[in-house]
Structure 1
Amino acid sequence: MWMDTKSEAKQASRTRAGLHQRLFNSLLLCTGDMLHLDQHMEGKLFVLQLAVWSLRGVARVILANNPLSGALILAALYWASPWQGLLGTLGVLASTLTAVIIGQDSAEVSAGLHGFNGMLVSLLMGVFSSAGDWYWWLLLPVCFGSATCTFLFSGLSPLLDRWDLPVAVFPFNIVIVLYLLCTGPNNPYYPHHLATPPGALELNATQLDTAEVVRGIPLGVGQIYACGALGPSLIILGAVLLYSPLMALHALLGSAAGTLAGLSMAVRHASLYSGLSGFNGALGCMGVGGLFFTFSWRTHLFAIASAFLSAYADIALSNLLGSVGLPACSWAATLMVTLMLLLTGQSLAAYRIPIGQVKAPEHNLRSRSQWESGNTSDRESTDV
């Protein structure tokens, strides 16, 4: 009887261990790039495929390539503002469908590369519009601007491919600035708010609220999607964590560096509290800290440097463009990461990953020996 009880206990223990292992393996399938999902979606209805492509495009804004991360981010945007969520959904669909219609590379479309610029354009149009929420006429420039991003992406790709550089969010930055220049604050159809320079003097000198500054660090991650609410910003950070814990760490670190840069330049308190001082730093830190470069102590230091440089460049560009009422958007992080990729010194270039082989940072660590040996077969184009 005692032997039977002992045997049953061992069997129950093995069953629990097997269940835990299966659960852990299932969770692992939801992390990283989820390439197995693309194989599963082959031959499925076009609507289902389009949904997965678009969710990847949503996640690409924050440098991730995971449809579940995209779904979490989209849910966070709808929570923060249903109107902004609708605009973002329409933007990513418009740009992705445009890529399908004009016959762009199917691998790029399925990877969401033609969706994220359109989503950013639509979100910023909504944020800067002074016509208020549910202004249905805004859907026209949202669709047109998002579709234009696809054409710019296609035009810039051959140019930047010569230097093995990503197109990144150059199309978004170009389109949103052109849109704001075309409309103006007093446009009868599409009026918008003027951007305020972060270096503008405070009307009333007030004491800095430390708690609000700390709160602005996670908000800096949410501001990548023009989201200034704490709860949705934490969900967006969780979506990055689902894709890559290493990138989530660098997102917070970069946002903190951007906040410190803002403090050192005495920017407006509103920029610190809302996370606007941190989002370029977060993007600059994530791009270098494991995405385009294999993670190491050296690239980690370069990532921190990239965060500070992106933040300071953002302050400078915001003050410059803000003098004419224009936002600096993410020009600073885009330019700084591009410059980092152009560095030819052995200290950083030796860790660089070819753009066609970029995946989640943890995967990059495991596969470094493959791309160092020059194996370029089965490349999957990845962009930011």
Structure 2
Amino acid sequence: RDLFGVYFQGAYESSQKSGTANALVKFWRSVRGTMPWLPGWIEGRMPLPDLFLFVELCLRGVGQVFFQNNPLSGLLILIGLFVQSTRVATHGVIAVASGNLLAIFLRFEKGLILSGLFGYNSVLVGLALATFDAPEKHGGWYAPIPIMSVVFASFSSVLFVFMGKILVPYKSPPLTLPFNVATLVFLAASAQMARVDTGPVLVPTLPDYSSDGVDVTITARAFFAGTVRGIGQVYLANGIVPGLLIWAGIAVCSRISALAAFVGSAIGAAAALAVGVDSALVEQGMYGFNPSLTVTAMLMFYAPGPWSGVLGALAGITTVFGQQALATVLAPFGLPFMTLPFCVIALPFIILQGTTNVVIPVPLATMTIPEDHLKRVNTLKEGFGFLMGAIESTRKMRPSLVRKGPSNTQNRISSALLNVDIDDGGKDDRETSAFGCPCGQRREEEEQEGSVPDMDLFDALDEDSSGRLELHDFIACLRSSGYDADTEGLHFAAVVFSQLDLDGNGTLERCEFRAFCIVTRALRTIRHRIARFVDFVDADCNGTLDFEEIDSALDYLGEEPLSEDDHLSLARVMGMPDDADGFDDVELINFVTVAKIKALVAEHRALKD
């Protein structure tokens, strides 16, 4: 029953079901990624849920500076900011709350609010205004700055919507442009504020093109410290401990993003040293934070892969030159470049999506973490490999076997076995050995190959000790095991049984039965892989795949949608009318599963012949 029960799990086991795992593994899985379960948990378990939900979305906003939509990431980052400076961090908290409150009061898009997207520019505004106001870490409070943090953090939320609408045709968010614009507006306007005592962030100077007295030597320890500080400098924190806490916060959500942040900072530091930048600036992380953001963005907006890595490295190096150019342009005004270099360089690299097929862009609506993007791409590629192989095979069918009307699932499975050929790229040496064995192989050899449980089962089913197992005896055994009501499952098992009758004599001998057992064990994995593809493509989770969902998944991969001929071929092989809009998930899984089995059997029959 345990072995052959897979034929009766009807549909399939959803790929969303998790297997057994210990408590620590389950906890880690629950806190990584975007933690979508947390708002519901807060609403059902916490007192004052609205307050805690507001705190949760504010923490998401803190993490979103590094594209990490995770409140635990935001909390770790915020702790790092308080370690760096309680005064600056407090201004950041005031600012992120202000930006989110304005978004809520103006009823901006709820999904954006809950994802923290109205918080990340706001928190940077508060951090920047407090950092540029005074050098003290835990003192130096000045009343106008919290007020200005509220005003300009709110302004950054308005800018986020404004710039977002402009960039909609280009499928790109405004990144940290709202923060840069809002902060620069305040810093420039402060020169005209008699009641607000501020000065230039930098001493205004004209560009100096001489390179005299620049020390470009640096130790490995200082380089590593500069790389870590570069991650922290994104939040205007230049301490080692804050930098490590911020990096840990990123890693909680996504290890790929954490790696990208570190590599990006290191690339920026190395590129700056290569062109002759003062090593003291590199050690302080001043040439790491913009490239860190850029590389992280490349692996967020494009599915991780070799070419997205190359694109990220190129963008990171270019960001260093962009930073130097902007520093030169802004120096006469005494204004900082902040994260403008990241925005100026990253945006062109993001907007080029769709013009090349060597990288796969991630749609904004489906963006979570790079690990999810990579898994989704691999699953879709594998699934479409199955699907397109099945479609191609229908074009080779004899016309008389292509049905043009609806049919039951049993006939569809039988037709698939008769007519579909798709390549199998995952042969297993053990399966080859089992399929290729001669029927007269001795019991001793079977014992050496570890197949005694299968042979014991064969002996139990072979009641007359004829050395052959007939189909009706096998089906009778399944019925007696409690599967008598599942006619579809019985037929499915019968079809696979018949396909393993390699000599076509209507029975399974010992080695054929052993091959049958191997295929049956592999069936669970095969079905799971196909089911995982179906889970991703069936966007509305209604148990039916329509062609619009399939085309949307192809678009995700940067591929052309299915042609009308493909629609027709797939509808016919599934036994659907020519004008069908889609088909049942279970039928697709059964069709491709049996087709894979048939391909494997056909291959080994060829070897045997």
* Range into which the TM-score falls when normalised by the shorter chain: 0.7 to 0.9
Q: How does 1:235-254 map to 2 (within 5 A)?
A: 235-254=245-264
User: Which residue in the other structure is 1:155 paired with?
Assistant: 162
Shift of 1:186: 9.0
Check whether the contact 2:216–2:279 (CA below 8 A) recurs between aligned residues.
no
**Mapped pair 1:54 → 2:62:** no
Residue 331 of structure 1 is matched in structure 2 by 340
The equivalent of 1:317 in structure 2 is: 326
Choose the corresponding residue for 1:351, options 357, 360, 363.
360
Q: Secondary structure at the match of 1:316?
A: helix
Please state how far the C-alpha of 1:205 moved relative to its aligned partner.
5.2
Q: CA deviation digits over 1:255-275, x for unaligned, max 9? A: 011111211232233321110
Task: Structure 2: give runs of 5+ residues left out of the alignment.
Answer: 1-18, 381-535, 538-548, 557-609
Give 1:336 shift: 1.9
Render the CA deviation track for 1:176-225: whole Å, top value 9, x for unaligned. 11111111399652413433689787896557331323310010000000
For residue 14 of structure 1, what is the aligned residue in structure 2? none
Alignment root-mean-square deviation, CA? 2.5
3-state SS of paired residue (1:263): helix
Contact 2:81/2:242 (CA < 8 Å) preserved in 1? yes
Instruction: Show the counterpart of 2:236.
Output: 226
Distance of 2:78 and 2:209 partners within structure 1:
33
Q: Which amino acid aligns with 1:102?
A: L
Q: Does 1:67 align with 2:71?
A: yes
Which residue is 1:95 aligned to?
99
Q: TM-score, normalised by structure 2?
A: 0.56
Q: Deviations over 1:318-356 (max 9, x none)?
A: 1211232111111111122211122243244x5101111
- Distance across 2 between alignment mates of 1:231 and 1:200: 35
Q: After superposition, give the CA deviation of every residue in 1:244-264 in whole Å (9 maximum; x if it has no partner).
A: 111111111110111112112
Counterparts of 1:266 and 1:159 in 2: how far apart (Å)? 38
- The verdict on how the C-alpha distance between 1:186 and 1:319 changes in structure 2, with shifts beyond 3 A counting, is farther
Contact kept? 1:168, 1:334, Cα under 8 Å = yes
The partner residue of 2:172 within 139, 148, 165 is 165
The CA deviation at 1:45 is: 2.2
Amino acid aligned to 1:239:
G
Asked if structure 2 preserves the Cα contact closer than 8 Å seen for 1:76 and 1:236, the reply is yes
Question: Cα offset for 1:306?
Answer: 1.1
C-alpha separation in 1, matches of 2:178 and 2:315: 21
**Secondary structure in 2 aligned to 1:346?**
coil
Provide the C-alpha distance between the structure 2 equivalents of 1:203 and 1:128, rounded to a whole number of angstroms. Answer: 29
Say whether 1:125 aligns with 2:132: no
C-alpha separation between the residues in 2 aligned to 1:185 and 1:257? 40
Q: Give the Cα–Cα distance (whole angstroms) in 2 for the partners of residues 176 and 190 of structure 1.
A: 16
Find the aligned partners of 1:347 and 1:26 in 2 and give their Cα distance: 38
SS of the counterpart of 2:333? coil
1:189 and 2:193 matched: no
Distance 2:551 2:134 in 1: 52
Alignment of 1:242-281 (within 5 A): 242-281=252-291
Distance change in 2, residues 1:193/1:324 (3 Å): closer
Q: C-alpha offsets along residues 98-147 of structure 1, whole Å, 9 cap, x if unaligned?
A: 10111111111111010111100111111111485211221111100001
Q: Which position in structure 2 is the counterpart of 1:175?
A: 182
User: Who is 1:297 aligned against?
Assistant: 306
Distance 1:288 1:295, change over 3 A: same
What SS does structure 1 have at the residue aligned with 2:27?
A: helix
The 2-side partners of 1:264 and 1:323 are apart by 26
The answer as to whether partners of 1:200 and 1:267 remain within 8 angstroms in 2 is no
SS at match of 1:184: helix
The aligned amino acid for 1:314 is Q
8 Å Cα contact 1:185/1:194 also seen in 2: no
- 1:275 and 1:360 map into 2 onto residues whose CA distance is 25
Higher relative contact order (CA 8 A, sep 6+): 1
Q: 2:579 — aligned with what?
A: none
Give secondary structure in 1 for the equivalent of 2:336: coil
What secondary structure sits across from 1:166 in the alignment? coil
Equivalent position of 2:145 in the other structure: 138
- Give the fraction of aligned pairs with identical amino acids, expressed as a percent: 24
CA–CA separation in structure 2 for the residues paired with 1:97 and 1:366: 35
Residue 170 of structure 2 aligns to a residue in which SS? coil
Partner residue, 1:7: none
- Shift in CA distance, 157/200, structure 1 to aligned 2, threshold 3 Å: same
Residues 1:73 and 1:199: Cα distance change in structure 2 (over 3 Å)? farther
Taking the aligned partners of 1:268 and 1:300, their CA distance within structure 2 comes to: 28
What is the count of residue pairs matched by the alignment?
A: 358
SS in 1 for 2:247: helix
More displaced stretch, 112-121 vs 156-165: 156-165
Equivalent position amino acid for 1:231 in 2: V
* CA radius of gyration, larger in: 2
Query: Whole-Å Cα distance in 1 between the matches of residues 160 and 274 of structure 2?
Result: 36
The separation in 1 between residues aligned to 2:224 and 2:328, in whole angstroms, is 24
| Structure 1 stretch displaced more, 352-361 or 156-165 | 156-165
8 Å Cα contact 1:202/1:268 also seen in 2? no
Mapped partners of 1:54, 1:263: distance in 2: 37
Rounded Cα–Cα distance in structure 1 between residues aligned with 2:247 and 2:116: 20
Deviation at 1:300, TM superposition (A): 0.9
State the distance in 2 between where 1:351 and 1:19 align: 33
Distance 2:210 2:89 in 1: 33
Distance 1:248 1:191 in 2: 36
Query: Is residue 60–residue 113 contact of structure 1 (8 Å, CA) maintained in 2?
Result: yes
CA deviation string 1:54-83 (max 9, x = no partner): 000000111111000000011111111100
The residue number in structure 2 matching 1:5 is none
CA separation in 2, counterparts of 1:307 and 1:206? 23
1:374–1:150 distance in 2 versus 1, CA, 3 Å: farther
Q: 8 Å contact 2:304–2:374 — kept in the other structure?
A: yes
How many angstroms apart in 2 are the aligned matches of 1:78 and 1:297? 37
User: Letter of the aligned partner of 1:29 in structure 2?
Assistant: S
Equivalent position of 2:113 in the other structure:
109
Amino acid at match of 1:260: A
| Structure 1: gaps (5+ residues) | 1-17, 380-384
Instruction: Report the alpha carbon displacement of residue 168 of structure 1 after superposing the two structures with TM.
Output: 1.3
